[in-house]
Amino acid sequence: MSTKNQIFRLLMEHRGESMSGQSIGDTLGISRAAVWKGITALRKDGYPIEAVTNKGYRLAGSEDYLSAEEISAMLDADGPKTDVRVFDAVESTNKTAKEAALSEPDQNMAFLANRQTAGRGRLGRSFYSPENTGLYMSLLFRPPFDLSHSVLITTAAAVAVAWAIEALSPARLQIKWVNDIYYNEKKICGILTEAISDFETGHIGYVVLGIGVNCFDAAYPDELNGIAGNLGGGFSRNQLAAEIINQWNRMVPTIQSRDFLEEYRNRSLVLGKEILVFPAGDKTGDGILAQALSIDDDGGLMVRYLAGPCLGLTQTLSGGEVSIKKA
């Protein structure tokens, strides 16, 4: 562990207290000059470390700080090795992960940020990512299967994230096809899956799994009021990040067998309900009225149209967007 990260971990353990440079140095076995250098580096990374006269340094505020070391320490010892990296701010954790995939192949990696300046959701939408209130992370991995299984990744990820949240929270979660997780009828998580494939072999080169969870209360833009919710806390973001990584690593071997699909179906927010289908994902129009019938073994949503030129016909959706028809 780097000197900078050792100091950060020590200040986290003594949050609310001031520690002198001498006491930090004695605890870690480093010089006061090394302490000062580490403090300077942490401040440059965006961490609010205060210097209190005659008392020393302390981590200011009550924010739930992200720490790669804390997350790594909570990962399954017998699971795949995952290189965890934490940033104060990035444009998008998915973008950061894709850049790393080109320069650091053949590694399982997790990228987390305290905030995103250009967070992205499905179908090119923006993803609101305020600092200190959400978990914004992307997992980079090399899947052990070919393109025929790629459509199952998002549905499997939704189940893994739901299990992770429920391991730390009393929340009971539902999934709106295909990638949104709901709590108390409000969206608290979105998932964006991106893959680079080798078309000669049919194998996926790598997958970037972007996950955004609203952990704590935030001031949402007007367009999200009444739509976005949050989990309300009761856990740290480090705990949740580690649990998501663990649940996902356990999930990957089951994707080809589709063992998770029954759980996905049981959590469905749309099955049996009247919905509006937006085939191109653009929700500015009225949508086509349909009934959600079932979810097939590839994660597709089977619907029966109740209006329009396809009245009475059934179709299995593998893309696009749906919303629940309001009474």
Each residue's pLDDT tens digit, 282-294: 666 788 999 999 9
- Whether residues 17 and 151 share a domain: the answer is no
The answer to whether 79 and 108 are in contact (CB under 8 A) is no
- Whether residues 244 and 290 share a domain: the answer is no
Angle between helices 32-44 and 3-13 (to 10 degrees): 80
Q: How far apart are CA 21 and CA 31, in angstroms?
A: 9
Say which residues have a Cβ less than 8 Å from residue 145's Cβ, sequence separation at least 6: 204, 255, 256
Give the tokens for residue 280: 């191109």
Give the position of tokens 């459509």. Answer: 151
Q: What angle do CA 85, 162, 155 make, to 5 degrees?
A: 90
- Whether residues 144 and 280 share a domain: the answer is no
Mean pLDDT comparison of 1-5, 99-103, 250-254, 302-306, highest-scoring range = 302-306
**Of the listed ranges 11-15, 60-64, 225-229, the one predicted with least confidence:** 60-64
Q: How far apart are CA 319 and CA 317, in angstroms?
A: 6
Q: How far apart are CA 294 and CA 165, in angstroms?
A: 25
Mind listing the pLDDT tens digit for each residue in 68-116? 888 998 999 999 999 999 988 888 999 999 889 888 767 799 999 988 8
- Whether residues 92 and 26 share a domain: the answer is no
- Whether residues 19 and 129 share a domain: the answer is no
**For residue 139, which of 117, 108, 164 has the smallest C-alpha distance?**
108
Give the position of tokens 């191109």. Answer: 280
Query: For position 22, what pLDDT does the model report?
Result: 92
CATH code for the domain of 315: 2.30.30
- Whether residues 37 and 83 share a domain: the answer is no
- Whether residues 142 and 94 share a domain: the answer is yes
Q: Which of 28, 59, 90 is at the close of a domain?
A: 59
Say which residues have a Cβ less than 8 Å from residue 76's Cβ, sequence separation at least 6: 246, 249, 250
Query: For position 217, what pLDDT does the model report?
Result: 73
Region 295-300: mean pLDDT is 92
Task: Look at the chain and report how many structural domains it folds into.
Answer: 3
Mind listing the pLDDT tens digit for each residue in 250-281? 999 989 899 999 999 999 999 999 999 998 76
Query: For position 195, what pLDDT does the model report?
Result: 82
Residue 86 has what DSSP assignment? E
Give the tokens for residue 235: 């856990």
